[in-house]
Structure 1
Amino acid sequence: MILSTLIFGLSTALALASDPELLAFTPQGIYLGTCNSTSAVESWLGIRYAQPPVTELRFRAPQPLTRTFAGVQNASTFGNACLQAPRAGLGAPIAEDCLFLNIWRPQNTPRDARLPVLVWFHGGRYTTGAGSDPAFNPSRILQRSTEINKPIIFVTIYAGVMHTVQVRLWALSHSNSRMNTFGFLATSLLPVEDLNAGLQDQAEALRFLRANIAAFGGGPSKVTLWGQVDVLRSLRLHFSKAGAGGVLAHIVHPQPGSALFRAALANSETGPFKYSPPPETYDAVDKPFRRLLDLTQCPFGPKALTYLRGLPSANASRTLLTPDPSVGQVWQPTISPSGSFAFERASVRIREVKFLKIPSLAGTVVSTSFASPIRGHNLTGQAEDTAFTHFIRSALVDATLLTPETISTIHHLYPANDTTLGGRFNTGDSLFDRAAAWYTDTMFPGPRRMLWEQAAERGQRVWGFYYQELSGNDRTRGISHSSELPMFFGPVPSSTQLPFANQLLDSYITFVTHLNPGPAWPMYTKNKANVLQLIQGNVALIPDDFDQVKTDFLNSEGVLRQFQK
């Protein structure tokens, strides 16, 4: 007892002597951060924000922290990454105990600074990414915020949590919320309050920040969410959305209690969900939950969840993460009755104006990336039409709701050999161009317009963009999703793009600080529905009417119901 007391006192004294400004005094305990003198950035890494989601807490909603810790906790290393396939450069151990977040701020920030806080939901198809990924080191963002005298605090909470798509990979995390089966198990056997655990992880992290961010110099009432979509190139057909979807999920499905954030940024805003079938859909013989039970040799019934919770993650994680990934779609966020995180379809809540009325900035990154796996098939006539129909249907967990009339209208709107599809990124590969144009409209401009039009109708402050900066990509492949991120995080691809990159980053920092991106970026309004075209040397306001007929059809109530949006 005496020895432990001496060790505690010594560790505290050493921490205080080393750099008292790097001590964050929170209700949980004292965290000791580190300072990178080269980048002039201070950081606290691997901060636990919820109880470990293991054993009996597997597949359950996150549980708040209930214990404090003694002494000083070293916050110099990243916490565990959630269960995933190993990959080079992850920079963190892998474990089921993975609910951690990371905080960065400019050097010498006073404890009472109450700086604006930017919370980053990393893209990654809801399956990949890590808080330790050096690609998302916020040093450039924080340095620039200091240069323009608008310092901010940066926090990472991984958003790649919802579902695996038609891929042969596992999942990664970005400081960190659960993903795949661990974050989005869906079945009628699971209590509704535990559905969409990955999204609930994000909400719990935001509650933790509200209670603790002041200890790090941040303003609890000054939190802005920022999410980004990423794309996965696969041998299969379709892909998913991550960070931007997570941000929109919290706007469209706000959780009870005090406001967790005051504004939102979304690169390639989504709807927020790709599709959202009810949990009982997954119980069918050919659907993910039943396939998972078959793989683990567990019968369907009330004891199934107890059995799955008893599987050791060390040797069962692959099965739990991706039950038979060769069979297409695995998990999606799910809609269930009252008591669930999301108890109404997003389009219904948007139509009935049940979303948060907060300042928001979002837009679309032009891309054909999502259709890359079907490029070069060289099909024509009926064979091409059949492949296009398969592309559409295979995106869904349950395609039985799609009517022949809807498929026929989509074919009419996206006809074969239409040289206008994809605009300047039209390739002449008819199937590829049709698939890319349809997928882009149904996932990005369509959902963003659905929300923006309702928001603008009511005078909500919103801003939109249309990102078309090529950044050296093959022009016929469009703009790869996430190719805009080096403009923010660096390194900027070329010196000639640096003024453009700084202009874009400055607008985002200004939005985080003042809740608008500045006078050079006019607001999207009912009478002036304009978005900012983002191309180096050609930043200009353009009408938000491109592909309007197509998105109007895709946003019609009947189509949204069939696609479970």
Structure 2
Amino acid sequence: MTLHRTLTTLGCALTALLATAWSAAPPSQPARPAATARTHDGPAPGTAHGGHRTVVRTRDGLVRGTAHDGYRTFEGIPYAAPPVGRLRWAPPRPAVPWPGVRDATRPASACPQLAGEVPGGSTDEDCLHLNVTTPDGAQPARPRPVIVWLHGGGFTTGAGSSYDAHRMATRGDVVVVTVDYRLGALGFLAHRGLPGSGTFGLADQQAALRWVRAGIGAFGGDPRNVTLAGESAGGYSVCAQLAAPAAAGLFDRAIIQSGPCTGRPDRPFAPSSVPLSEARAAGAGLAAKAGCGSARDVMACLRRVDVSRLLAAQETDQQPAYATPLLPADPAAAIAAGRFHHVPVLIGSNHDEGNGWAAGIVRAGYPVTPGTWPDVAAAFFPAPGQAQAIVHAYPVHRTDGGPVFGAVIGDADFACPTARTDGLLATHVPLWHYEFADEHAPPLTEGTPPFPLGAPHASELPYLFDLGGRPRELTAAQHRLANTVIDYWTRFARTADPNGPSSPLWPRHTVLSLAPDHIVPTRTAHARHHCAFWNALG
């Protein structure tokens, strides 16, 4: 195998690993089979548990959640019918109402995926569920803002239940909804004549948003004040929904974390979309690997294939397809033309986005040295002349090869595309841009990295969530930063402006650097990440 193919394949595999391996659900909260109805007789709606309502009436039936200290959770609520049998690769259908009271005290099954964030993976297609976290106490005078969270994981892994949102809900006095959506080939397969090709996972996200508009009021949320937020593939999903005509009116603000809308599919780390023709070609490859390539009815054959076989046959990374009814244009082109839903946006990336991938590749036995650097650069930037220009702009000396490679990945695929996205969006809507820069952020993967990672991809997430229900160890200064980040995010959700009297001023038209005891606006991020170089390189 060539160096180009080896490094690209390894890089794609790390995309999902870096975003998810650290947040596995704790053993004390095993996922239950989602196909189980989990209904039973119980007290009437409004019954108190510990003095607070844990039974709520949704549009499809009653659900019983869990009362915690200061908040309540309702887990595994169906927002659409199970996409199984003939509904595999079909647009989401309405959920089936249930009798009695549905148990919503445990997470539902994650959507099908290989082992990683979900211990042992998942093969349960009955996975279109969401989780609600809402502050406890008296009913507020006004409904609370709602934040709908889309998880990352390269569109192949991840689960809404990995994101314990109680700190965000209680400190920010907001309702947080985390969503599971179809992943991998089950979420993004494209085939000629298949309605919804390449966009089933995006359609699921829209179905969840429609559920929120219709039913979040029962949990104290304001259906007229919904912020759609996500990180990595979840952030790019927000970009796609900004450009998707059918998402009109489904959300009122957007938060995009490390998922720039101008990411490119020819670079293996940044999330992006691909043309329908390319998605169909990938679909034909999947059909051939699954033994259905020569079938008279390819889709009927694929619907009979076992989930585990499909997971083994699919590509490591997946992308939504554009030139489709749900996503008519590449989101980057739509945003550049001003054809997107004009809602306020909070967007940003991390100071050292690429270091996790670079460290993984170095650890896998591909050191970046002055001698190997030209070949490594060419493996990821094969266009004529690009690698030579990159090696000149980012020279590698004897001992700093890994961080230099990480800077190239971070600058090319995250920092500079985020700056471009900022410029395009800010022409039309209020926008706030951040850079998370805690160089001592708690590690997200096990083991000692070959070099200090700084603030790599996903390192801001423990400041917003208890990942997998397990809070990370933070210093006092990092706790203050976490509180400040939550304050910014939830004030933005409430008023479309993150500023408030308890936090440092966040001016528009600058980048706010977020680090412990050092939250300051900066105008040097563009130069620091060599964005003029990358814009010229193309």
Letter in 1 for 2:84: V
* Residues 14 and 483 (structure 1), Cα distance of their counterparts in 2 relative to 1, 3 Å cut: same
Percent identity between matched residues is 27
TM-score by length of 1: 0.75
The reply to whether residue 184 of structure 1 matches residue 214 of structure 2 is no
Q: Give yes or no for contact 1:322–1:330 (8 Å, CA) kept in 2.
A: no
Q: Give yes or no for contact 2:118–2:158 (8 Å, CA) kept in 1.
A: no
Letter in 2 for 1:295: K
Partner of 1:521: 505
Partner of 2:376: 387
Q: Give yes or no for contact 1:492–1:501 (8 Å, CA) kept in 2.
A: no
The reply to whether residue 96 of structure 1 matches residue 125 of structure 2 is yes
Deviation string 1:442-470 (CA, Å, 9 cap, x unpaired) is 32222222222123334x21111111102
Deviation string 1:122-162 (CA, Å, 9 cap, x unpaired) is 222323332333xx2122222322xxxxx1111101xxxxx
The reply to whether residue 252 of structure 1 matches residue 243 of structure 2 is yes
The reply to whether residue 508 of structure 1 matches residue 530 of structure 2 is no
Secondary structure, aligned partner of 1:177 = coil
CA displacement at 1:195 relative to structure 2:
2.6
Aligned equivalents of 1:125, 1:427: Cα separation in 2: 33
Partner of 2:297: 303
Worse-matched range after superposition: 106-115 or 220-229: 106-115
Partner of 1:206: 209
* Residues 344 and 553 (structure 1), Cα distance of their counterparts in 2 relative to 1, 3 Å cut: farther
CA displacement at 1:549 relative to structure 2:
8.9
Q: Give yes or no for contact 2:357–2:406 (8 Å, CA) kept in 1.
A: yes
The reply to whether residue 279 of structure 1 matches residue 311 of structure 2 is no
Partner of 1:469: 438
The reply to whether residue 41 of structure 1 matches residue 102 of structure 2 is no
Partner of 2:84: 54
CA displacement at 1:90 relative to structure 2:
5.1
TM-score by length of 2: 0.79
The reply to whether residue 415 of structure 1 matches residue 392 of structure 2 is yes
Deviation string 1:243-280 (CA, Å, 9 cap, x unpaired) is 211222212334255x1111122222422654233233
Deviation string 1:273-292 (CA, Å, 9 cap, x unpaired) is 542332332555xxx43332
Worse-matched range after superposition: 181-190 or 467-476: 467-476
The reply to whether residue 377 of structure 1 matches residue 386 of structure 2 is no
Q: Give yes or no for contact 1:350–1:450 (8 Å, CA) kept in 2.
A: no
Q: Pick the aligned partner of 1:76 from 105, 112, 123.
A: 105
CA displacement at 1:369 relative to structure 2:
1.5
Q: Give yes or no for contact 2:156–2:318 (8 Å, CA) kept in 1.
A: no
Alignment RMSD, CA only?
A: 3.1
Q: Pick the aligned partner of 1:119 from 148, 170, 175.
A: 148
The reply to whether residue 317 of structure 1 matches residue 304 of structure 2 is no
CA displacement at 1:30 relative to structure 2:
2.2
Aligned equivalents of 2:287, 2:122: Cα separation in 1: 28
Partner of 1:362: 347
Q: Give yes or no for contact 1:92–1:132 (8 Å, CA) kept in 2.
A: no
Letter in 2 for 1:117: V
Letter in 2 for 1:484: E
Secondary structure, aligned partner of 1:350 = helix
Aligned residue-pair number: 471
* Residues 544 and 512 (structure 1), Cα distance of their counterparts in 2 relative to 1, 3 Å cut: farther
* Residues 417 and 453 (structure 1), Cα distance of their counterparts in 2 relative to 1, 3 Å cut: closer
Deviation string 1:506-531 (CA, Å, 9 cap, x unpaired) is 2222212221111533343xxxx311
Q: Give yes or no for contact 2:290–2:313 (8 Å, CA) kept in 1.
A: no
Q: Give yes or no for contact 1:184–1:195 (8 Å, CA) kept in 2.
A: yes
Aligned equivalents of 1:487, 1:502: Cα separation in 2: 8
CA displacement at 1:199 relative to structure 2:
1.1
* Residues 373 and 415 (structure 1), Cα distance of their counterparts in 2 relative to 1, 3 Å cut: farther
CA displacement at 1:379 relative to structure 2:
4.6
Q: Give yes or no for contact 1:79–1:93 (8 Å, CA) kept in 2.
A: no
The reply to whether residue 479 of structure 1 matches residue 455 of structure 2 is yes
Aligned equivalents of 1:428, 1:457: Cα separation in 2: 42
Q: Give yes or no for contact 2:78–2:128 (8 Å, CA) kept in 1.
A: yes
Secondary structure, aligned partner of 2:313 = coil
Partner of 2:319: 332
Q: Give yes or no for contact 2:253–2:344 (8 Å, CA) kept in 1.
A: yes
Worse-matched range after superposition: 44-53 or 272-281: 272-281
* Residues 546 and 225 (structure 1), Cα distance of their counterparts in 2 relative to 1, 3 Å cut: same
Secondary structure, aligned partner of 1:507 = helix
Partner of 2:334: 349
* Residues 155 and 256 (structure 1), Cα distance of their counterparts in 2 relative to 1, 3 Å cut: closer
Write out aligned runs for 1:140-159 (5 A). 140-145=167-172, 151-157=173-179
Which of structures 1 and 2 has the larger relative contact order (alpha carbons within 8 angstroms, sep 6+)? 2
CA displacement at 1:353 relative to structure 2:
0.6
The reply to whether residue 448 of structure 1 matches residue 415 of structure 2 is no
> Where does structure 1 lack aligned partners over 5 or more consecutive residues?
1-8, 146-150, 158-175, 230-241, 394-402, 420-425, 560-565
CA displacement at 1:544 relative to structure 2:
5.2
Aligned equivalents of 2:403, 2:398: Cα separation in 1: 7
Letter in 2 for 1:351: A
Partner of 2:10: none
Aligned equivalents of 1:492, 1:254: Cα separation in 2: 42
* Residues 267 and 413 (structure 1), Cα distance of their counterparts in 2 relative to 1, 3 Å cut: same
